[in-house]
Amino acid sequence: MIRVEKLSKIYRTSLGSVPALQEIDLQIGAGEIFGIAGYSGAGKSTFLRCLNRLEEADSGRIVIDGEDIRLLNRHDLAQARRRIGMIFQHFNLLDSRNVADNIAFPLELAGQNYAQRRARVEELASLVGLSDKLLSRPSQLSGGQKQRVGIARALALGPRVLLCDEATSALDPPTALQILELLQDLNQRLGLTIVLVTHQLEIIRGFCSQMALLDQGRIVERGPTARIFRSPESLIGKKLLDVGQKLFRPAEVMA
Ligand SMILES: Nc1ncnc2c1ncn2[C@@H]1O[C@H](COP(=O)(O)OP(=O)(O)OP(=O)(O)O)[C@@H](O)[C@H]1O
Ligand SMILES: [Mg+2]
């Protein structure tokens, strides 16, 4: 469903060039929850943002549901983006709007009338468990509730793919778990394909069937999550897992 071939991206700044993505090849199956991990600066966000062209790659192909995303003109890209939702670490909500109007924002841009928007907003709020908060402002919500608004907004136009960039990194562990369980539920109920970028390996272990590890803009390891956790082949894989185990070792083992 998502096929990426030889995708490269260099950031050029006055301070020099940063090769953020180097010939990335990756396939993500329909209905999968696919995890992408790697150290800070590895290129995870750049990769995700290239998928919906928030960032323009320099070369390579991105094919989503048979559509060659990099070749689309403005109009067709806007249509394709309806099928590719995205959620962010810091939620990116508009505080000048209440919850209902935040969720309705993409529906407004798509030209839906008030009655259509209202019905869809109610449906989405119920899907993410926010029906009682529609008139609240984002600043009146907890982090977990804010991310539920982000998810409802991302799902407004019925995407087939949801891109998640560190979507639970700003939340405390129990709240993060609730949001991940909501994403898992949406994956199963709606058949949504989810690409989950995170630096927290235990999230990938718990929720992703397939994964890839990025390092300095390259994929250094990919495959079934269970296999990579059992026997990582790359040096980075071994290092990341080692650090993960030390950080998240239960207290009684540390004593
Ligand atoms: N707009 C930009 N201009 C110049 N360089 C950039 C820009 N955005 C990212 N970079 C550089 O590209 C590389 C990849 O950055 P990216 O944000 O994709 O990493 P990341 O894996 O998401 O890191 P993190 O885990 O910290 O979010 C880094 O070296 C970063 O400094
Ligand atoms: Mg990032």
pLDDT digits (tens, 9 = 90+) for 163-213: 999 999 999 999 999 999 999 999 999 999 999 999 889 999 999 999 999
C-alpha to C-alpha distance for 36 and 44, rounded to whole angstroms: 7
Res 236: pLDDT: 84
- Strand runs (DSSP E) across the chain, as ranges? 2-13, 16-28, 33-37, 59-64, 67-68, 84-87, 161-165, 193-197, 210-215, 218-224
pLDDT digits (tens, 9 = 90+) for 62-116: 999 999 999 999 999 999 999 999 999 999 999 999 999 999 999 999 999 999 9
Judged by average pLDDT, the poorest of 56-60, 155-159, 249-253 is 249-253
Ligand 1 atom with the smallest distance to the CA of 55 is: 1
- Residues in contact with 184: Cβ distance below 8 Å, sequence separation at least 6, in sequence order: 33, 207
Query: Which tokens is 2 given?
Result: 């998502």
Q: Give me the residue label for tokens 């207290």.
A: 251
List the Cα angle 204/208/214 in 5-degree steps. 55
Ligand 1 mutation target, pool 44, 196, 203, most atoms within 8 A of CB: 44
C-alpha to C-alpha distance for 27 and 41, rounded to whole angstroms: 22
Res 136: pLDDT: 98
Could you tell me if the CB of 143 is within 6 A of ligand 1? no
Could you tell me if the CB of 104 is within 6 A of ligand 1? no
Distance 43 CA to ligand 1 centre (A): 6
Ligand 1 mutation target, pool 9, 14, 45, 164, most atoms within 8 A of CB: 45
Res 252: pLDDT: 53
C-alpha to C-alpha distance for 206 and 116, rounded to whole angstroms: 37
Angle between helices 114-128 and 99-109 (to 10 degrees): 130
pLDDT digits (tens, 9 = 90+) for 225-247: 999 999 999 888 888 877 767 76
Nearest to 183 by CA among 150, 213, 221, 222: 150
Could you tell me if the CB of 20 is within 6 A of ligand 1? yes
- Judge contact between 155 and 183, C-beta under 8 A: no
The environment of the single-atom ion ligand 2, i.e. residues with CB closer than 5 A, is 45
Query: Which tokens is 18 given?
Result: 């940063």
- Judge contact between 23 and 7, C-beta under 8 A: yes
Query: Which tokens is 22 given?
Result: 């180097």
- Residues in contact with 21: Cβ distance below 8 Å, sequence separation at least 6, in sequence order: 7, 8, 9, 43, 46, 47, 50, 57, 217
